[in-house]
Chains A and B, each alone.
Chain A
Amino acid sequence: MPSSPSQLRTVEACASEDFSSDCDIPSIIEHTQKCLVLELENDTIRECGAAALAIIASKPDDVLRLAHRKLHTWPFRDVPICWRRLYEDASLWKAIALLRVQTCRRNPKGHAIDTVSRKRKRRGEQENPKGHSSSPAVERPSTTDDGINLPTIMAGDWVADIVKVLDMAIILTGAPSRKHLFNNLFNNLQSSLLHEVSKLDTLRGFPPSHLRRPKVRFPMQNYKALGSDMNFTALQEHLDASASPLILEGAISHWPACSAWKNPAHLMQHTLGGRRLVPVELGRSYTDEDWGQKIMTFAEFVHDYLINPMPKQTGYLAQHDLLTQIPGLLEDIQTPDYCFTTPPPATPELLHGQPTPPHLEEPLVNTWLGPGGTISPLHTDPYHNILCQVVGHKYIRLYAPSETPKLYSRGVDEAGVSMENTSRVDVSIAMELAGRSAAVGCDDEISHENARNDFEERFPLFKDARYIEAVLGPGDSLYIPLGWWHYVESLSTSCSVSFWWN
């Protein structure tokens, strides 16, 4: 296995050589700039003030830092949109500046380097064709030029530099007005990587799992009409009749993703050689004290957490809209027709303290990619869910809303945030104590007994809560009704796609 993310790639035809046939940088610069200087209708960016707009093109780093500061001045939902717009546009100007550096470097006539602000210099800056060093080589810590904490990237990797700037803008602002420009830039950068070869190309799949499968004692209802899959009408009838959980075995086995995503190389290729940034949850479970989130390159996630046989901790790319970030992956999946049925509406009992969400015109799609052993603690969601298993296996346990009194919801926390949709019970520990899980339990009989008594004392009703369970495999889907408690544990490297609808 490659020993570091930087060894994942050997750039065969170095991106710094003749790429003009693959990636027309002057045109992208011109196109992006033309769009940026055009005034948009009702654009709130003017509210940021003339001083910032006066230097956004010439000093995008300084404007980025002002916008970043403003994005953190209020709780995110209160941030005036103008600051998201300013950060978005300043990022695009910065991307243009980084692209300009590449045009200058490549021009054999050796036109003078743009006056690049000293803050825009990159690690391992090479000499330009004229032989002048384009900036003093100063070692900088692993931050963007605006000082924001970011993952380490390959020295001298200009594509990664630009991707970082663009992805951070999307993460921080949601790209309110310039999505098309971001996508255009990503597509063009993709073409400059055509010759890149990844060591991951030799990997045929993810490492095998050593986690033992729990025995399913209380199976869920499984729909398997003879020779056919459940269709839209049949599910609608089921929803009208009982709206209970239902395994739809093999329902998505026709997705190209079921074979394509088994190979890390496919996902790496679609994430610009793994350069795209993704949010990763670190830690055993989001109810643990030491749990956190980190933004890292997709390559770092794959290398350090997905294919690493001895990761420092669990890393889970969870609840992330990867398919909007990487539209190229959309052709590997297909939104199930089921998401266009009309399910029963939400009631306060089913919402468990969460506000009624608005009606969704389109289903909310999330991707869940992680190693074996990821845990989503017992909780409910305010939407109906079709959970599609693409790669690997997941153990899922469901408790009906009627069992809620036995599930010890967390209630409202000190900051006033409702955690009523999350249980205090750690189901993986409950399974261990009941002797049903293969996870490492207590060697000592006595301490196991003590742990069991502790658990009994804290959660006496839990053992009487009725549940159903299943192991989902590649190609399977599971309908999880709104308000049903669910606990999910991956049994191997797993990739799922969930569709929330109402």
Chain B
Amino acid sequence: MSELKTRTAGHRQTANDGASKPTSMLCAGLNAHSQLQAGTQADVRKFTPVEDISTPQKGADVLFAGWSTTVFSSGNKIWTQGFQPISSTLGGNAAHEDIQTRSVIGDHDGFLALLTTSGDLYTVFSSSDAQSATLQLMTTESSPSIALIAFAGTGRIALTFKQAPNGNLCHIAEFNTLDRFLAWYRDPSDSDCYPDKHHMLPGRPAQLLANTASFILLLENGEVYSWGDPRHQSLGRAINGEGTTKADVPGIVEALGGLKITKIASGGWMSAAFSEDGALYLWGAAGAPGHDRSIRCLREAGAGEVALVELLASAHDEPLDVIDVAIGDAHVAVATSDGRLFVVGDNKDGQLGLDSAEDFIEDWTEARGLSDVQRVVCGSNSTYVFVH
């Protein structure tokens, strides 16, 4: 799954706004590799503070939360908790300026690569004894100039190329495997290494994400495109019939037509988007394939439909404005403008942080005891929450 750090204007808060109030991080979920809480392998079933070893000026950020490893960053330092041991500084120790991360990719085994806003690609190299790993810069002058990258659960890679400041054509390349992408990145002129697919869309990409088997793209004008495996209503759009785009080619999610989407999230077989006026839309599989429990608000939505999610502070209120959303393998977490956190879905590992023994929560539930929630990030089986 890929995690995107957005720096676009639409995103209201970033964890690196350390200059104002300090933020702290809480986590809940699968901890079998001690990736959430050191010293134990037991699941963390209620939101618990993350040990913060960042520098005092800047808060730590979660770059990637996977099944076995969580990757943190603070300034240019990158480190991990969990199975994969990484301790690295981007740009080497001589770097003075902060390097901004644009895209991060990884899988159940750990962190795989990171792309900065300046287009530098760092990949993870393990030492020969597998006891430690570092990030190494792959980018050279002849490297392709890429802006965003995403990695699906099927192993497919999608990326967008950097555009000229006034460019309006978005080029997307796809590779069947990470290795094929890296081979092309090292030698883009080798015809054996050419991308497996290439798409073009009008617009400027803002966010590119992947879930288990599909990709989802947000453009700066607020349009959302999706493509990949259409099973389980995961694309949120029709793929058969007149005027539709095939599943394996980026097609616009018409159900969000006319809305200006601020941010998207994706995970498992679900995706979500919220608009500039704070309305949240969710689509995909109500229940994970092969499981019998399902998220109620998605049960009625058919292929090509999206569900409008309305979260209320109490029964008589107006729906709250949404400021952030994140999706794990089968759970969703949402932050609202009044600082609350709402969660739904799989809780087998305690990832909803509700301190509940329930395996699955079908209806949106507020995670009480949290105040001033700013941001949320989900791993496949975990949830990280940033609060003031």
Contact = CB atoms under 8 A, between A and B. Distances in A.
Contacts of B338: none
A52 B33 CA distance: 10
B168 to A, nearest CB: 35
Contacts of A118: 42-43
Most chain B CB within 10 A, of A66, A71, A149, is at A66
B108 A49 contact: yes
B360 interface: yes
Given A49-B109, A51-B108, A65-B348, A147 B293 contact: yes
Nearest to B330: A69
Interface residues of A, number: 30
A140 B359 contact: yes
B292 A149 contact: yes
A138 interface: yes
Contact of A147 (B42, B130, B291): B291
A72 interface: yes
A318 B329 CA distance: 34
Interface in A57-82: 58-59, 62, 65-66, 68-74
B83 A73 contact: no
A74 B289 CA distance: 11
B245 to A, nearest CB: 17
A249 B330 CA distance: 56
A31 interface: no
Contacts of B109: 49-52
Contact of A74 (B83, B154, B288, B290): B154
A54 B83 contact: yes
Most chain B CB within 10 A, of A52, A69, A119, A146, is at A69
Contacts of B108: 49, 51-52, 66
B32 interface: yes
B213 interface: yes
Most chain A CB within 10 A, of B67, B212, B240, B293, is at B67
Contact of A69 (B42, B68, B110, B329): B329
B101 interface: no
Interface in A36-66: 49-52, 54-55, 58-59, 62, 65-66
Contacts of B110: 51
Contacts of A414: 240
A208 interface: no
B84 A51 contact: yes
Interface in A105-138: 117-119, 138
B8 interface: no
A434 interface: no
B31 to A, nearest CB: 10
A55 B33 contact: yes
A141 interface: yes
Contacts of A149: 290-292
A66 B348 contact: no
Contacts of B213: 73-74
A73 B42 CA distance: 27
A330 interface: no
A141 B359 contact: yes
A164 to B, nearest CB: 15
Interface string B93-112: 00000000000000111100
A50 to B, nearest CB: 7
A62 B130 CA distance: 23
Contact of B290 (A51, A72, A138): A72
A2 to B, nearest CB: 26
B290 A59 contact: no
A362 B288 CA distance: 38
A147 B359 contact: yes
A73 B153 contact: yes
B189 interface: no
User: Which range contains the number of B residues in contact with the other chain?
Assistant: 20 to 34
A418 B279 CA distance: 43
Contact of A55 (B32, B42, B288, B289): B32
B69 interface: yes
Interface of B is mostly: loop
Interface in B65-109: 67-69, 83-84, 107-109
Given A50-B130, A51-B33, A73 B359 contact: no
Given A62-B32, A69-B329, A414-B240, A148 B290 contact: yes
Interface string B207-250: 00000110000000000000000000000000010000000000
A73 B154 contact: yes
B315 interface: no
B9 interface: no
A143 interface: yes
Contacts of B326: none
A148 B290 CA distance: 7
Given A51-B83, A54-B83, A148 B33 contact: no
A146 B110 CA distance: 22
Interface string B168-193: 00000000000000000000000000
Most chain B CB within 10 A, of A49, A59, A119, A141, is at A49
A73 B212 contact: yes
A121 to B, nearest CB: 10
Contacts of A66: 67, 108
Contacts of B252: none
B41 A59 contact: yes
B357 interface: yes
Nearest to B213: A73
A282 to B, nearest CB: 15
A147 B360 contact: yes
B30 interface: yes
A51 B360 contact: no
Interface in B109-161: 109-110, 130, 153-154
Interface in B32-79: 32-33, 41-43, 67-69
Nearest to A146: B348
A254 to B, nearest CB: 43
A207 to B, nearest CB: 31
A55 B212 CA distance: 23
A12 to B, nearest CB: 35
Nearest to B109: A49
A51 B67 contact: yes
Most chain A CB within 10 A, of B41, B110, B329, is at B41
Contacts of A62: 30, 32, 349
Interface in B337-379: 346, 348-349, 357, 359-360
Contacts of A74: 154, 213
Q: Give 7 nearest A-B pairs by CB, closest first.
A: A49-B109, A51-B68, A149-B292, A72-B289, A51-B83, A62-B32, A59-B32
Interface of A: 49-52, 54-55, 58-59, 62, 65-66, 68-74, 117-119, 138, 140-141, 143, 146-149, 414
17 contacts: A50-B83, A51-B33, A51-B69, A51-B83, A51-B108, A52-B109, A54-B33, A69-B153, A69-B212, A69-B288, A69-B329, A73-B153, A138-B357, A147-B359, A147-B360, A148-B291, A149-B292
Interface of B: 30, 32-33, 41-43, 67-69, 83-84, 107-110, 130, 153-154, 212-213, 240, 288-293, 329, 346, 348-349, 357, 359-360
Given A62-B32, A74-B154, A147-B360, 12 more contacts: A54-B33, A58-B41, A59-B32, A65-B348, A72-B288, A73-B153, A73-B213, A74-B213, A119-B348, A143-B292, A149-B290, A149-B291
